């Protein structure tokens, strides 16, 4: 993932056209608002993982499925965060929900990893995704992405 700083007045090469009209459809900001609203109304994967852990000890197969789906969800959040960073209209306050979501995902990934049997082949993947999620949330919180 390559992150570059966009200086005011500078155009992204992918958005600069030769007199073409803007594409029709929802803007990224509208889509993001819809996703954030949907995320608030539905239980998150960390909440679902915590509830499942409180009820009973799931089978190793169920843990693997939960781990894979949580890792995919976290990677999707990281991709959305990357796209939001590339949008100069987003302020630090607009990006704060991403940091919270990434921190929640990190905690859920670590908790799930700790439930897996020792030497499970899924544990290194969960650890890598949790590390990437934690690092990106920490970078945003300490101001690395603010101009």
Q: Which residue has the higher pLDDT, 125 or 94?
A: 125
Q: What pLDDT, on the 0 to 100 scale, is given for residue 135?
A: 94
What is the residue whose two structure tokens read 């859920």?
Answer: 108
Q: What pLDDT, on the 0 to 100 scale, is given for residue 59?
A: 74
pLDDT (tens digit per residue) in 68-124: 999 999 999 999 999 998 888 888 788 889 999 999 999 999 999 999 888 888 999
Please give the distance of CA 2 from its chain centroid, rounded to a whole number.
Answer: 16
Please give the distance of CA 78 from its chain centroid, rounded to a whole number.
Answer: 3
Residue 136 φ/ψ, nearest 5 degrees: -65, -40
**Alpha-carbon distances of 141 from 94, 98, 103, 111, 138, rounded to whole Å:** 12, 10, 11, 22, 5
Give the mean model confidence (pLDDT) for residues 9-20.
52
Across the chain, mean pLDDT equals: 79
Q: What pLDDT, on the 0 to 100 scale, is given for residue 77?
A: 94
- Rounded distance, CA 57 to CA 139, Å? 34
Kindly tell me if the per-residue pLDDT of 22 is higher than 60: no
| Helix, strand, coil shares, percent, the chain, to 5 | 65, 0, 35
Residue 90 · residue 44 · CB < 8 Å = no
């Amino acid at each position: 993932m390559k992150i570059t700083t966009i200086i005011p007045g500078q155009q992204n090469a992918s958005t600069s056209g030769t007199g073409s009209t803007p594409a029709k459809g929802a803007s990224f900001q509208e889509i993001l608002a819809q996703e954030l609203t949907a995320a608030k109304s539905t239980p998150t994967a960390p909440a679902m993982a915590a509830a499942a852990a409180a009820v009973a000890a799931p089978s190793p197969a169920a843990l693997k499925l939960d781990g894979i789906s949580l890792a995919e969800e976290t990677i999707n959040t990281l991709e959305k965060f990357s796209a939001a960073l590339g949008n100069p209209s987003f302020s630090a306050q607009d990006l704060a929900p991403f940091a919270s979501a990434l921190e929640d995902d990190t905690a859920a990934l670590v908790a799930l990893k700790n439930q897996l049997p020792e030497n499970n082949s899924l544990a290194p993947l969960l650890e890598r995704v949790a590390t990437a999620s934690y690092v990106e949330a920490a970078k945003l919180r300490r101001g690395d992405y603010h101009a």
